[in-house]
Amino acid sequence: MPDSAPSQSHCGTRYPIWLSGGHPKVSNGIVSRRLCTYYSSTCATISHYSNLQQYEYVKVKKCPGGYYVYQLPNLQYMCHRAFCAVKDTSDPCLDSNCTYGCVNQNGQAQCTCPANILNSNQNQSCVSPCSSDNGGCSHTCRSQGAGSKTCECPDTMELGKNQKTCVDPCRRYNLLDQEWRNARYGSNSYCDDTNSFEGWYRFVKGAGNRMADSCVTWGHCGGNGKTRWLLGGHPTVRNGIVKRKICTRPSSSSCTCYHNSHTTFDYAMVRKCPGGYFVYKFPQYQWSYCHVNMCGVTDTSDPCLNSTCTHGCTGDKGNPVCTCPSNLVLAEDKNTCVSPCDIDNGGCSHSCHSDVNATITCTCPPALVLARDKKICVTPCLYQNGGCSHFCVADNKGKISCGCPAHLMLAEDKQTCSKKFW
């Protein structure tokens, strides 16, 4: 919009309107500017053309993209007035479509973007690296500086090797089942330096059903004296993945939580799974000598520690009993929770749908309808003869037409055949 007086009878009108006070900067935000109506090249109020002694005002903002936007008032009191515009060629950003910022690059408008957003479309727009396909992340995508991004996971999951996919350790773990690893085992013939701990682990069978979280007898767990346990206890399911210090027993006479031979403590990541058991992610072996092992114990206080439940578990007379969320049911193996439609298609002959309460609804293709059992799809004419008293015909969309023998006629209800009256 011009900020000096245009000539009379320009801008398609007799009395053109311009801006008084100049245009703002981006940092000024929204400002209010006086509107001038041409009157002998001066900034006239509308009092020159009416009985009102006042000016009119417009709100103006310079956008980060370099252009201006205006909130124009409704013009009143007289005719032959119009808002003017000018073509300012001194700044190409005035014609830009940039969202965040704009610079004059050799007479061309070039969009600039914040540090965490990428420049795209030949420098004409700013796009978050997370905007396309969630940045390739399976869960949360977070924009970082220089247009980069990182993928993040819920507390119950960890980022996989591809740094994009979140992995649930309760669904992907290795087994530690060596009997010598149990805290009650007194032999000293084994060593964890042969285990290149990759991924997550679960104590099972002879090794126990969880890692020890208190001092273990010297010389047990298959090691030569030094035994290892968790400090800080085990988490609940709600805690998600937690970090716990690994203690090493320094001598047969002390249960002090000691660090490893490198004078720093090792740490394990621990999660209690919905099935009631624990999984662990151990550090790589760093000891300069052998016979130091991760110790397991057999905890008989909670039968769910031995479960293979995929979702939930409760103890019943010393036995684990698997439970499922409200929208799932227990499969035939009594361990896995599945959709009710995954079991024999929910009993439906065609399509099966289940709701948040695991209630099944069967549906049919257009040419078929549900029979009385609400599970099997049949042609409309096979279900109560389609409502027809005699003949029933259905087209490929399931639309029914009733017919009658020659000596009868179709009644007004289009379903019943009655006697002819002629």
Domain limits, CATH 2.10.25.10, in the chain: 341-377, 379-419
Fold exhibited by the domain 379-419? Laminin (2.10.25)
Residue 95 three-state SS: helix
Residue 13 burial (C-beta neighbours within 10 Å; 0-12, 13-18, 19+): middle
pLDDT of residue 188: 67
Classify 167 as helix, strand or coil.
Answer: strand
Q: Which pLDDT score, from 0 to 100, does residue 258 have?
A: 83
The Cα–Cα gap between 125 and 140 comes to: 23
pLDDT in tens, the chain (422 residues): 998 888 877 888 888 888 999 999 999 999 999 988 876 666 776 555 555 556 789 999 999 889 999 999 988 766 778 899 999 988 999 998 888 888 888 888 888 887 767 666 555 567 788 888 999 999 999 988 667 889 999 999 999 999 999 999 999 999 999 898 899 988 767 777 655 788 999 999 999 999 999 999 988 888 777 888 999 999 999 999 999 999 988 888 888 888 766 567 889 999 999 999 999 999 876 655 566 788 999 999 999 999 999 999 998 888 999 999 999 999 999 999 999 999 999 999 999 999 999 999 999 998 888 988 999 998 889 888 989 999 999 887 788 899 999 889 999 999 999 987 76
DSSP labels for 299-315? Answer: --S-GGGG---SSEEEE
Nearest C-alpha neighbor of 292 from the set 319, 261, 335: 261
Question: Tell me, what's the pLDDT at 324?
Answer: 95
Contact yes or no for 28/7 (Cβ under 8 A) = no
Q: What is the pTM of this model?
A: 0.64
How far apart CA 167 and CA 260 sit, in angstroms, is 29
Q: Calculate the dihedral angle through the C-alpha atoms of 334, 335, 340, 346, rounding to the nearest 10 degrees.
A: -50
CATH class, domain 341-377, is mainly beta
- Pick from 44, 42, 40, 64: which is nearest to 54 by CA? 44
Q: Please give the pLDDT value at position 45.
A: 64
**Residue 303's pLDDT is what?**
94
